[in-house]
């Protein structure tokens, strides 16, 4: 039996999952995405060259690894091919990508409906990435979605697209007063994409399970994060999938017993894109400084990310849900110049400490973060490669994070580059 490692986001996304996925991909045989779609944006820096990935697993930047897009992913064929082409142009081999025949396909009406639905919500909008993610998952649940196996079968695609588009065109015209989309145009354009993707399609469930049985190491690359999960996040300000560790079982066809280790990625502070509650948000010069010095602008939409002090309560919650064994902490270097750093270690509601994340957003909006203050370390950590060489104040901050969340720290990042990494435990994977 091989080994599996799952990397999940512990907060509201963009924790730097891609950076650690790239690090552990070097030790893996296979890297697999299991949920979400091109709403994800993972930026990786290798030898100061930047790569931005949305659908292709971040393992693509390590040579000779199988990169699997699992059945739980919603795949925009146009985005996937653009990404593959741009990687190929940069000399990266994309021949080892495998696409699940059970994944659902994002079509032009999904993106259009995403944007029209957001517009119609006015100031109640979710702040989606506008990539058609939720409309595609809606179709999946409504049993009118189109799966990759049918997309690459010309007859099936023509028939299934007809049924789906008839329904969408009624919605477009009657609900949104929008002109209908043309069947032939979509069919022709997308048949072209299907022809190009066909060689990469296979039954990834069999592939992953056989490889695991044969002793291979599989890394499951999380996208989005716990607080964006449709069940566990700040509903309705969430995405439409399950980015928690359990999502690996349904999004890749891997049995729960076969998940060996889970790393939860935590940024040294907290950020969020889009609308919804964010108790530790700093709408002041601290927040501005975190955004500027941390380069907190979305990979997919370029939107400025909302910023605040680390919310260790949500990290602890993420730990419960995903069974996080180790924390992977990123962006410690962003605090190098700070005099003082705060961490939210508990929530108070009506003057009392609470032990849960309130389900009701009305209640969640009322929680008061309980902060502890830490002295800054005021030195450059970006060249440090060993835990013991970190300044004492940085260690204090990390130790407290581990204590509050009840999870040990496994790996730390002190800069965007692959080598700017401090491995605390060598034996994780
Ligand atoms: P993901 O979606 O979780 O993979 O995260 P993103 O890629 O959206 O955002 C994380 C950003 O932080 C990327 O631009 C990374 O290059 C960058 N990054 C990751 N780790 C570090 C770090 O330790 N220090 C600094 N300064 N940047 C980092
Ligand atoms: P990575 O993998 C941060 C957010 C959107 C919005 C909500 C719903 O890079 O961490 P959607 O388009 O999914 O329907 O939008 O979810 N969101 C993300 N925020 N990082 C992501 O991915 C995200 N994927 C979705 O901003 O608030
Ligand atoms: Mg991101």
Consecutive 10-residue averages of pLDDT for the chain (429 residues): 97 96 96 97 91 94 95 98 97 97 98 98 95 98 98 98 98 98 98 98 98 98 97 98 98 98 98 96 98 92 94 98 98 98 98 96 96 98 98 98 98 96 97
**Integer CA distances (angstroms), 160 to 15, 90, 106, 146, 172, in order:** 38, 36, 13, 7, 18
Length in residues, the chain: 429
**Among the atoms of ligand 1, which is closest to the Cα of residue 294?**
26
Residue 369 has a pLDDT of 98
Strands 408-413 and 421-423, by their bridges, are antiparallel
Question: What is the C-alpha end-to-end distance of the chain, expressed in Å?
Answer: 14
Residue 392 has a pLDDT of 98
- Nearest-angstrom CA–CA distance, 289 and 134: 33
Using CB distances shorter than 6 Å, the residues near ligand 2 are 9, 13-14, 39-42, 126-129, 131, 133-134, 223-225, 228, 237, 239-240, 273-274
- Nearest-angstrom CA–CA distance, 109 and 92: 31
Looking up tokens 């929008």 gives 178
Could you tell me what percentage of the chain is helix, strand and coil, using 3-state DSSP and rounding each to the nearest 5? Answer: 40, 25, 40
- Nearest-angstrom CA–CA distance, 161 and 194: 13
Strands 49-53 and 42-46, by their bridges, are antiparallel
| Cβ-proximal residues to 291 (8 Å cutoff; 6+ apart), any chain | 297, 304, 305, 307
Residue 298 has a pLDDT of 87
| Cβ-proximal residues to 326 (8 Å cutoff; 6+ apart), any chain | 261, 262, 263, 264, 407, 408, 409, 410, 411, 425, 428
Residue 191 CA, ligand 3 centroid: distance in Å: 30
Considering only CA atoms, which residue is closest to atom 24 of ligand 1? 415
Closest ligand to the CA of 18? 1
| Cβ-proximal residues to 104 (8 Å cutoff; 6+ apart), any chain | 74, 75, 136, 137, 139, 140, 145, 146, 147, 148
Residue 300 has a pLDDT of 79
CB 94 within 8 A of CB 60: yes
Q: Among the residues of 51-203, which ranges form H helices?
A: 77-89, 108-121, 133-141, 148-151, 154-170, 183-197
DSSP of 51-64? EEESSS-GGGGSTT
Element (H, E) at 221: strand 217-221
Residue 177 has a pLDDT of 97
Ligand 1 pocket: which of 16, 270, 394 to mutate (most atoms within 8 A of CB): 16
Instruction: Summarize pLDDT for 69-82 with one digit per residue, the tens.
Output: 999 999 999 999 99
**Integer CA distances (angstroms), 110 to 82, 95, 154, 238, 300, in order:** 18, 28, 20, 17, 17
Residue 198 has a pLDDT of 98
Residue 244 has a pLDDT of 98
**Among the atoms of ligand 1, which is closest to the Cα of residue 45?**
16
Residue 298 CA, ligand 3 centroid: distance in Å: 7
Burial of 86 per CB tally in 10 Å (0-12, 13-18, 19+): middle
| Cβ-proximal residues to 91 (8 Å cutoff; 6+ apart), any chain | none
Q: Is the dihedral of CA 58, 230, 113, 297 positive or negative?
A: negative
Is 85 marked active-site?
A: no
Instruction: Check pocket membership of 45 for ligand 1, CB cut-off 6 A.
Output: yes
Closest ligand to the CA of 58? 1
**Integer CA distances (angstroms), 410 to 6, 155, 333, 424, in order:** 13, 50, 17, 5
Instruction: Summarize pLDDT for 100-135 with one digit per residue, the tens.
Output: 999 999 999 999 999 999 999 999 999 999 999 999
- Nearest-angstrom CA–CA distance, 285 and 202: 51
Residue 301 has a pLDDT of 82
- Token readout for 287 is 């927040």
Residue 330 has a pLDDT of 98
- Nearest-angstrom CA–CA distance, 200 and 182: 28
Instruction: Check pocket membership of 33 for ligand 1, CB cut-off 6 A.
Output: no
Is 110 marked active-site?
A: no
């Amino acid at each position: 039996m091989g080994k599996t490692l799952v990397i999940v986001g512990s907060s509201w996304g963009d924790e730097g999952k891609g950076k650690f996925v790239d690090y552990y991909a070097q030790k893996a045989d296979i890297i697999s995405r299991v949920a979400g779609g091109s709403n994800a944006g993972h930026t990786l820096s290798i030898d100061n060259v930047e790569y931005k990935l949305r659908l292709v697993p971040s393992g693509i930047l390590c040579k000779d690894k199988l990169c699997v897009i699992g059945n739980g992913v919603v795949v925009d064929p146009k985005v996937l091919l653009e990404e593959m082409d741009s990687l190929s142009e940069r000399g990266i081999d994309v021949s080892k990508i495998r696409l699940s025949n059970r994944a659902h396909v994002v079509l032009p009406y999904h993106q259009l409906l995403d944007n029209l639905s957001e517009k119609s919500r006015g100031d109640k909008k979710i702040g989606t990435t506008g990539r058609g993610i939720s409309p595609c998952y809606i179709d999946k649940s409504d049993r009118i979605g189109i799966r990759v196996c049918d997309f690459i079968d010309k007859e099936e695609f023509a028939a299934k697209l007809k049924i789906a588009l008839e329904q969408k065109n009624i919605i477009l015209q009657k609900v949104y007063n929008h002109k209908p989309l043309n069947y032939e145009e979509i069919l022709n354009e997308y048949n072209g994409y299907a022809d190009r993707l066909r060689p990469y399609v296979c039954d990834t469930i069999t592939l992953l399970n056989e490889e695991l049985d044969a002793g291979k190491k599989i890394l499951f690359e999380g996208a989005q994060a716990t607080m964006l999960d449709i069940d566990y996040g700040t509903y309705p300000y969430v995405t439409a999938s399950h980015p928690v560790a359990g999502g690996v079982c349904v999004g890749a066809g891997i049995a729960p017993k076969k998940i060996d280790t889970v790393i939860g990625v935590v940024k040294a502070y907290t950020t969020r894109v889009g609308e919804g509650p964010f108790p530790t948000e700093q709408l002041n010069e601290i927040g501005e400084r975190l955004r500027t010095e941390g380069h907190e602008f979305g990979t997919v939409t370029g939107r400025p990310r909302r910023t605040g002090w680390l919310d260790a309560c949500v990290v602890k919650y993420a730990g419960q849900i995903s069974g996080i064994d180790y924390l992977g902490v990123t962006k410690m270097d962003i605090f190098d110049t700070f005099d003082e750093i705060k961490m939210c270690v508990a929530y108070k509601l009506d003057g009392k400490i609470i032990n849960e994340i309130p389900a009701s957003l009305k209640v969640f909006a009322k929680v008061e973060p309980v902060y502890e203050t830490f002295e800054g370390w005021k030195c450059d950590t970006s060249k440090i490669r060993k835990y013991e060489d970190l300044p004492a104040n940085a260690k204090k901050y990390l130790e407290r994070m581990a204590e509050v969340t009840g999870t040990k720290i496994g790996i730390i990042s002190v800069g965007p580059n692959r080598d700017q990494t401090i491995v605390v435990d060598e034996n994780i994977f």
